[in-house]
Copies of this chain bind each other. A is one copy, B any other.
Amino acid sequence: MGNDQEQRHDKPRTKGQGTPDCRDCRVCRSAEWGALTDAQWELLSSRRVFRRYPSGAVIHRQGEGCTGVFTVHSGTVALRKTDGMGHSVLLRLVPAGETFGYSDCYAGQDYSSSGEAMEPSGVCFLERKALNSLLAANQELSRRFQEHLIRDYNTAKEAILQQAWLPVRARLAHLLSRLREHFGRREGGEGTAITPPLTRQDMADLLGTRQETIARTLHAMEQDGVLVLRGRTILVPDLGRLEEEHSV
């Protein structure tokens, strides 16, 4: 049993083609890396390796020795954790601009999860050694990474509480609310359209449930007028209505 997570483990295509110039890279310059001085930024630029991954490609594999950190330049990456029996969950989605692999890298442990591209993505890789020298040289960089780590930890703790107490429907509503932040856009008429790069299976893996349950719950919510399904995009007429489904 277990779902066939191997479906995704294919062709980690590594073309250096179209490497964007780090100098102009606004997206990467934000967040943690914004703490770097110009000189440090030069070092980073010279050591970075840019790679493109097609949708579904594996960026790093759980259990491999951690060799460095990755910053998402474009697209979306998911971190998948698998146990010894073929079960897996998606721990989180990494949107463009965010860095992942930090905690494994800092602790010097093997990757504790796999990274996979949810859509065609561009990712910058920075070797562990280079990261460490930047961290040693820049206190502020270190501080920012640690705060990011704490946010992720807090999110994980929230997830544990929710998984223990909330039914699938409430967790799904919560997920959609969060997905809206990155994948939602206001529709003129009325309401918000959310188009995450996720299959039903992916949503199930995020919530620790099954794809059939996601389909059914989504349709139940449509019946209740909370949302409208249009292929892979989910239309939410009233966000307040969606949020009533959780938190309270």
Contact = CB atoms under 8 A, between A and B. Distances in A.
A147 interface: yes
A90 to B, nearest CB: 10
A160 B163 contact: yes
Number of copies: 2
A147 B91 CA distance: 20
Contacts of A82: 161
Given A84-B248, A87-B165, A149-B153, A208 B103 contact: no
Interface stretch (A50-58, A105-113, A219-227): A105-113
Given A160-B208, A164-B209, 15 more contacts: A81-B160, A83-B162, A85-B248, A87-B161, A89-B161, A91-B157, A103-B154, A106-B146, A106-B147, A107-B147, A146-B149, A149-B149, A153-B153, A153-B156, A156-B156
Contacts of A91: 157, 160
